[in-house]
Copies of this chain bind each other. A is one copy, B any other.
Amino acid sequence: MTVRTHTKTRAKGEAAFDEPAEEIDIGPLSRMIGYALRRAQIAVFEDFIASLAEVNLRPAQFSVLLVLDRAPGSTQSAVATALGIKRANFVAMLDELESRGLAERKLSVNDKRSNAIFLTVHGRKTLARARALALQHETRQIARLGDDGLDTLLRLLGRLSAR
């Protein structure tokens, strides 16, 4: 992977100093798993965010709404754990979803120490639209991967995630 960084537009006869290379070749870094994962994840997330611009949901917010739709009344810690989101980050995210009227905390009947989280009617409607947009995004990514690419990718990613 290379990138153009410097254009040679030196006037004729100008001294030839040691110039920075025109391109930085990142070399072996491009074959490091963590680096390649991060670049792909950023590219896919950028497409996701652009695809869901209409509903203004980032990937993590979308995943929280999906989980609340499947498991209404879950506690904060249950949702955060299931999605691998750090507690502090999750509280801030939930505050935002609540201020936007997409989700609400209610006192849990089972555990007085923790709130149960639910989607609002507006949250469910927004999620329905978000799902349709996310499907378009996902279809594009799958097409990039080619035949059998999705299953192979998910299998390999699963091996890296398992702890």
Measured CB to CB, the residues of A under 8 A from B are 1-3, 5-6, 17-21, 24-29, 31-45, 48, 59, 63, 66-67, 70-71, 73-75, 77-79, 81-84, 108-111, 116, 134, 138, 141-142, 144-146, 149-150, 152-154, 156-163
Pair B82/A5 contact, Cβ less than 8 Å = yes
C-alpha spacing A153/B34, complex, angstroms: 11
Give Cα A69 to B35, complex, Å.
17
* A32 contact from B36, B39, B138, Cβ within 8 A: B138
The 7 closest A-B pairs by CB, nearest first: A5-B78, A40-B157, A24-B82, A37-B41, A40-B160, A34-B44, A36-B157
- The secondary-structure label for the interface of chain A is helix
Identify A79's interface contact among B24, B36, B163, CB under 8 A: B24
Q: CA separation between A73 and B154, bound complex, in Å?
A: 40
Q: Which residue on chain B has the smallest CB distance to residue A83?
A: B26
A20 to B82, CA, bound (A): 14
